[in-house]
Structure 1
Amino acid sequence: MPISVKGQCDPKFAELQAQFERNFSDRGESGASVCLSVNGETMVDLWGGVANRETGALWERDTVSIVFSCTKAATALCAHILIDRGQLDLNALVTDYWPDYGKHGKHNTTVAMMLNHESGVPAFREPIKPGGFFDWNYMISRLEDEVPFWEPGTRNGYHMLSFGWTVGELVRRVSGKSLGAFFADEVANPTGADFWIGIPEDFDRIIAPMIPYSPNPNDLLSDFTAKLISDPSSVQALSFLNNGGWKADNPAGYRAQIGGAGGISNARGQVAMYEPLANNDGRLVSSERLKNMSMVTTATQQDFTLLVPTRFSSGFMKSVDNRLLRTVANRQSCILGDQAFGHVGAGGSIGFADPECGLAFSYTMTQMGSGLLLNERGQSLVDAAYLALGYKNNKAGVWIK
């Protein structure tokens, strides 16, 4: 049965709508949303498909889902708001705010290192207790007692899940509010963003369950996946699997404040968060802080965790072009504009701001794809957006006019 796509789309972005519809007809999409605004005007707001395969419930306008690591951008934004207010210093030691963190060789860790995935705690060596991700104080104690995998500041490696507590605890200690409460008060409520880091008890929205990716026997294994499978003591395995039994659609996980991967939103909700940043309107941070948020602050030819080249600004993902890697089946790229910053989520979701062209963009879905960055479904939408805005090509690894 043909999938009905609903919503609005300015004729200028007709090709983006065509690609969104093609995702359903040709690329295995199940339920999804895509939204973008330009200079504060919503130009695309589309959704379609099935929100729950078991019940047959359709994806409606206000359907939301877990957005995995897109949540990292929301957590980083909270930190930047505090930096902008002079309450948190990028160059300060973490122990200035969190004294007990400095054990086991972590005493020279700076705030910047935490945002840059350089702090050396991308995983936990000893098993996380069952349900540990739902216990904030337990996770903070585990971080304090962890021995870093490298000397902080000497390299970077994606802090897949720990990022939510390394940066989130700084937000909590400086602001006096939990990460989820600070985000709600200072970001979601002022912008009207349907985005939660920990849903409230009276939450009544439909949360679409995620559909795991089923590997194709012919897929080439990425180095990350190969290491995860072959070595259970590796950072790759520990960062991904040592999670105390946390699963994406655990109701307790929805309520927990998992700032590295547990946010609940949809494309419209993420665009609302990014719009003030895309337009430099001063609602969330100053122009000076915004510039820092869009600048590359760490890049490597081999991320210690992901084992591919990565590029980050201070807490955000930048355009990453790994198209020449031989593990093509395991998508390893996310190609954006040069000034764009945001974050992907596992399975292929994304949200970002591009101040160069006033673009705020997001795509979310339930059918997860291969790899940890974008796959064809999401990248085709990003590409169509940039082409509609007059950009010419992305051969240089970023979209250029």
Structure 2
Amino acid sequence: MTSPSPGIGTVAPGFERVAAAFDDAVAQSSPGGAALHVRVDGCPVIDRWGGTARGGRPWTGESLAVLFSCSKGVLAVLAGTLVRDGLLDLDEKACHYWPEFGAAGKDGLTVRDLLAHRAGLPVLRAELRRSDVVDWSRMTRLLAAETPLFPPGATHQYHALTLGWIVGEVLVRASGRSIGELLADRITRPLEIPLFFGAPAGVLPTVAESVVLDDYWTDTPPNSGASDLERLADRALTLGHGLPRRFADPGEGFNDPVVQHAAIPGAGAIGTARALATMWSATVCDGERIRLLSDEVVAELCRPVSEGPPAVPAPGPWHRWGAGFMLSSERRPMLSASSFGHDGLGGQLAFADPASRVGFAFISNGLRLADDDRSRVVVQALREAVLDGAASPSTLQHHTPTR
């Protein structure tokens, strides 16, 4: 077996150490690959990739990948655009927009609660099949009728998959558009980026094939002696039989074209690193084709809502959330304390930093489910570069990216 090649692409002066950290991440992603895109004030300062995307084909700057829970960040930005335009009120009851959702004691939940993992619906009690998971109407009907597992609004518990349909249906009702149409209308067409909730059939053969690089996930469901957390985590990621436990085997789970073609905004968005970083850049600076969110909307979405121990006890440190945005924390450090974005299963991370006007995305199809420091090391190198002044206007004004 040949050793993986280092990353290729461009890097602006002052960001060389970030590119070097990424090259190490590419080596750790074999037999898969990875991509890194970083923008400052709307200007690309790193556009780099390496490794293998699919069927032995090398990763390129246009390679698409499943973004896993980075998808939730896309959904939160989409919600923010509706807040910006007065179509969505974060403190309005969710059932104001989606009346059926008020059933089974959920009538007091606000939109902000749903975005911050406080709906009490991280799993469904029904044993689902793939045909359910890829059916938007079926999933939203089931979630509307479901009784919460925890007191709604009183505590938080990560909604690994269900958040996508719960929040997504509120956005659909508020806008009158399907979730895929809404993303295209408000983000991808204005910014001219490839980013999808439900990838078109024509691009499916080009999506990078995900591969798990460790043995963290098994074929065997938790036994009767497993902890509540283990059983809940299993169902939150599989929805019974809706997705296989080996979710990245060839042609299975999120490698299944049927799943990739469906709108699963909690974990199934598909896009490039360039697209993801450009979207986040457009939330904090005016250098992109459009500005997606005002400073006021960003501040509102970043107001902490869920932090500390979750409903099902788990060892800390814990994630922190605003209204959909994952906030920088000890568990998931981003560029600075003011950064916001979302990470994704297997080591992916994307965020914006208002202080430095940075949009960042690291994506990989080589998924590490435990002890993964790839994005953390890249972010640390970026932090050092920014502190050294690499992101200053004088440094960037006339930079010529190098190969």
Q: Kindly tell me: are residues 111 and 24 of structure 1, through their superposed partners in 2, closer, same or farther at Cα, counting changes over 3 Å?
A: closer
Amino acid at match of 1:84: R
Q: Kindly tell me: are residues 102 and 48 of structure 1, through their superposed partners in 2, closer, same or farther at Cα, counting changes over 3 Å?
A: same
Q: State whether residues 295 and 339 of structure 1, in contact with CA within 8 Å, keep that contact through their aligned partners in structure 2.
A: no
- Secondary structure of the 2:140 match is helix
Correspondences of 1:102-113 after superposition (within 5 Å) = 102-113=102-113
Alignment of 1:321 onto 2:343: no
**Shift, 1:86, TM fit:** 1.3
Aligned residue number for residue 376 of structure 1: 373
- Secondary structure of the 2:336 match is coil
**Shift, 1:76, TM fit:** 1.3
Correspondences of 1:337-352 after superposition (within 5 Å) = 337-352=336-351
**Shift, 1:391, TM fit:** 7.0
Q: Percent identity?
A: 28
Partner Cα distance (2:363, 2:184) in 1: 20
1:359-386 CA distances to partner (integer Å, 9 max, x unpaired)? 1100000111124xx8211111111111
How many correspondences in the alignment? 371
With a CA cutoff of 8 Å and minimum separation of 6, indicate the structure with the bigger relative contact order.
2
1:112-171 CA distances to partner (integer Å, 9 max, x unpaired)? 100111111111112113321110010011101211011111111111100101110011
- Secondary structure of the 1:171 match is helix
Partner Cα distance (2:99, 2:122) in 1: 20
1:66-116 CA distances to partner (integer Å, 9 max, x unpaired)? 010000011111111111211111111111111111111111111110011
Q: State whether residues 35 and 44 of structure 1, in contact with CA within 8 Å, keep that contact through their aligned partners in structure 2.
A: yes
Aligned residue number for residue 273 of structure 1: 279
1:164-223 CA distances to partner (integer Å, 9 max, x unpaired)? 011100111111111111001100111122211111233366111100242379xxxxxx
Q: State whether residues 117 and 163 of structure 1, in contact with CA within 8 Å, keep that contact through their aligned partners in structure 2.
A: yes
Amino acid at match of 1:274: W
**Shift, 1:41, TM fit:** 0.9
Amino acid at match of 1:368: L
Partner Cα distance (1:170, 1:228) in 2: 38
Q: State whether residues 75 and 179 of structure 1, in contact with CA within 8 Å, keep that contact through their aligned partners in structure 2.
A: no
**Shift, 1:304, TM fit:** 3.5
Dislocated runs of 4+, deviation >6 Å: 225-228
Aligned residue number for residue 136 of structure 1: 136
Aligned residue number for residue 196 of structure 1: 196
Partner Cα distance (1:80, 1:317) in 2: 14
**Shift, 1:230, TM fit:** 4.9
Q: State whether residues 158 and 304 of structure 1, in contact with CA within 8 Å, keep that contact through their aligned partners in structure 2.
A: no
- Secondary structure of the 1:271 match is helix
Q: Which runs of 5+ in 2 are unaligned?
A: 244-252, 390-403
Aligned residue number for residue 59 of structure 1: 59
Q: State whether residues 280 and 287 of structure 1, in contact with CA within 8 Å, keep that contact through their aligned partners in structure 2.
A: no
Q: TM-score, normalised by structure 1?
A: 0.86
Amino acid at match of 1:312: W
**Shift, 1:229, TM fit:** 5.3
Q: Kindly tell me: are residues 274 and 232 of structure 1, through their superposed partners in 2, closer, same or farther at Cα, counting changes over 3 Å?
A: closer
Aligned residue number for residue 232 of structure 2: 235
Q: State whether residues 260 and 268 of structure 2, in contact with CA within 8 Å, keep that contact through their aligned partners in structure 1.
A: yes
Correspondences of 1:139-150 after superposition (within 5 Å) = 139-150=139-150
Q: Which runs of 5+ in 1 are unaligned?
A: 218-224, 323-332, 393-401
Aligned residue number for residue 8 of structure 1: 10
Correspondences of 1:1-80 after superposition (within 5 Å) = 1-2=2-3, 3-25=5-27, 28=30, 30-52=32-54, 55-80=55-80
**Shift, 1:28, TM fit:** 4.8
Partner Cα distance (2:362, 2:161) in 1: 21
